[in-house]
């Protein structure tokens, strides 16, 4: 890895962090050590980085705000790519061009103040534009699919292309990017509608108050753990099994919302994973329903 680090620094690809704790990169505040974290300066430098990664056959993971991911406690023997520098934004009437590293919450609040409607659902989703696009993030019966016009990506062949909304194959918490390894979201073009800025601000304010009442925002967490089965709510299934408050080590099922697992202060990733597996087993035994994890599990054996 030392040779690779030297090459990355010589080519001035971007800032690097060596042997960094993944706990500081994830909203769960858990995870092992990342051998190398790289912040490419731009698309050209990202291409150079991917050329090195492909040549050396190194594993990698593109990480946004770490708000929907659970790394194991093991060392990540590869490269974590952070696209924080991909944060340009251009607004022309109701069309927004925005970099993958831009904060989704920040964007939702900014466009609502301009009277642009359609992103209010995202005002409490603590991810990046790239991560939200990858996951087709959603809330309040809306999702990224509804506002995305096209997505600029880097292909496995290191070509920059644009994918239309249809080509992104969006489904519930799903997209083309999840099933086609090697494609990296670089930039997104959104189309919003014109609306009443005061009304939009009021909607965002009301939803923020509701989240504070119903979600354990005072603890490190990564949002909803499980996808809702069709016609059901995962949280309700878990709550009906009296699992609120169930604890393993420093991790616990929230007593505010059963589809949230919280880090009470000293949790390990393995504590959280053990609860995830326990919930899946209990729900399957009781209801014969196989819950699907919404969060991405990275660097686990299974």
Tokens representing 257 are 């919302």
Closest among 233, 236, 238 to 252, alpha carbons compared:
238
DSSP for 38-67 reads EEESSHHHHHHHHHHHHHHT--EEEESSST
* Length of the chain, in residues: 302
Whether residue 191 lies in the annotated active site:
no
The yes-or-no answer on residue 55 being catalytic is no
Strand boundaries in the chain, DSSP class E: 14-21, 33-40, 60-63, 69-71, 76-82, 89-92, 95-99, 116-117, 138-139, 142-143, 148-154, 160-164, 184-191, 193-194, 247-248, 251-253, 261-263, 296-298
142 is catalytic: no
Catalytic residue, candidates 48, 112, 120, 173: 173
Taking alpha carbons only, the member of 107, 190, 178 closest to residue 152 is 190
The two tokens of residue 81 are 């790519």
Residues acting as catalytic residues: 173, 224, 294
């Amino acid at each position: 890895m030392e040779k690779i680090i030297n090459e990355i620094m010589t080519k001035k690809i971007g800032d690097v962090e060596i042997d960094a704790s993944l706990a500081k990169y994830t909203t769960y505040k858990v995870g092992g050590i990342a051998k190398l974290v790289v912040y490419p300066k731009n698309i050209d430098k990202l291409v150079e980085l991917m050329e090195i990664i492909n040549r050396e056959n190194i594993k990698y993971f593109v990480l946004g705000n770490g708000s929907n991911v659970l790394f194991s406690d093991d060392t990540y023997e590869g490269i974590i790519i952070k696209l924080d520098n991909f944060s340009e934004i251009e607004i022309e009437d109701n069309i927004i061009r925005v970099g993958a590293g831009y904060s989704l919450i920040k964007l939702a609040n900014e466009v609502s103040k301009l009277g642009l409607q359609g992103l209010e659902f995202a005002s409490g989703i603590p991810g990046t534009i790239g991560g939200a696009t990858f996951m087709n993030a959603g809330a309040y019966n809306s999702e990224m699919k509804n506002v995305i016009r096209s997505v600029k990506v880097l292909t496995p062949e290191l070509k920059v292309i644009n994918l239309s909304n249809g080509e992104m194959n969006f489904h519930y918490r799903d997209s083309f990017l999840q099933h086609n390894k090697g494609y990296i979201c670089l930039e997104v073009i959104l189309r919003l509608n014109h609306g009443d800025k005061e009304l939009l601000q009021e909607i965002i304010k009301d939803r923020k108050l509701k989240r504070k009442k119903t979600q354990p925002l005072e603890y490190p967490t990564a949002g909803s753990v499980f996808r809702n089965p069709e016609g059901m709510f995962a949280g309700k299934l878990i709550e009906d099994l009296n699992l609120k408050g169930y604890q393993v080590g420093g991790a616990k099922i929230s007593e505010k919302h059963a589809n949230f697992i919280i880090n009470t202060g000293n949790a390990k990733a393995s504590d959280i994973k053990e609860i995830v597996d326990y919930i899946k087993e209990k729900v399957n035994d009781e209801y014969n329903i196989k819950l699907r994890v919404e969060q991405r599990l990275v660097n686990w054996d299974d």
